[in-house]
Amino acid sequence: MGVHKAAGTTEFAQVTRPHELAFDLRRELVACWVTVSNAGGAVIPHGVPLPPLSPRDVEPVLDRVVDALDPQQSRLLVATVQGVLAGWLLLRRDPHPLVAHCGVVNHLQTRTSFRRQGIGAALMRHVPDIARDSMGLERLGLTARSGLGLEDFYRGLGWVEVGRWPGALRIAPGDDRDEILMSLVL
């Protein structure tokens, strides 16, 4: 796991291979995911039930994410403050040969106790350099759930909305949200 210091006390590290993920960090990633999801966060991947979640719900999905880590295909970017996980995200290359020059950002999460401290924005500011310089990517994409102000957050970081799937996400009966498609040219 490579570490480099950012301004203040936040440190950023990349995990590029499964064996690099320490047991304590794995446990913190699971705890973060559970806490963020149960607090209304938008990260609910395929294979995970709707909240409330427990570690048992998230562990198999995180294991699949970690098992797929590879320096040219998929990496975790983690932010820590005084040695404690503050946030993380997944950066991965699209596996299809027609779009292998594109990457996808998934699972951006800031631990609830670190919210409103710029952790998520700092993680997102690191992504373009890593994607371009370390993975050779030319464009990034992500999807966001409407109704949470996420599109404004990403726009403020230079991302562009390129489309919407109206009502694609059913949060609860009567609560359908758009899935917002966003892009960033590197």
What local confidence, expressed as pLDDT, does residue 4 receive? 42
Average the pLDDT over 59-76 and give the result. 97
Which contacts (CB < 8 Å, 24+ apart) does range 156-161 have?
Answer: 156/121, 157/121, 157/124, 157/125, 158/184, 159/183, 159/184, 160/184
Report the pLDDT value the prediction gives residue 6, as an integer from 0 to 100. 44
Question: What is the Cα–Cα distance from 84 to 88, expressed in whole angstroms?
Answer: 12
CB within 8 A of 125, min separation 6: which ones? 157
pLDDT for 3 beyond 60: no
pLDDT at 49: 87
Residue 43 is predicted with a pLDDT of 79
- pTM, to two decimals: 0.92
Tokens of 45: 């991947």
Round to whole Å and give the CA distance between 59 and 62. Answer: 5
Considering the chain, what percentage of its residues have pLDDT values greater than 90?
87
In this prediction, residue 1 carries a pLDDT of 52
What is the pLDDT of the chain when averaged over all its residues? Answer: 93
On the question of a cis peptide bond just before residue 55, with omega within 30 degrees of 0, the verdict is no
Helices 23-38 and 55-67 pack at an angle, to 10 degrees, of 130
pLDDT higher for 101 or 6?
101
**Tell me, what's the pLDDT at 7?**
43
CB 80 within 8 A of CB 122: no
Rounded to 5°, the CA angle 40-42-45 comes to: 120
Q: What is the pLDDT of residues 133-181, one digit of tens each?
A: 999 999 999 999 999 999 999 999 999 999 999 999 998 899 999 999 9
What pLDDT is stored for residue 90 in this prediction?
98
Sign (positive or negative) of CA dihedral 46, 47, 53, 56: negative
Interatomic CA distance for residues 25 and 21, integer angstroms? 7
Supply the pLDDT for residue 8.
57
Residue 125 φ/ψ region, left for φ over 0, alpha for ψ in the -120 to 50 degree band, beta for the rest: alpha
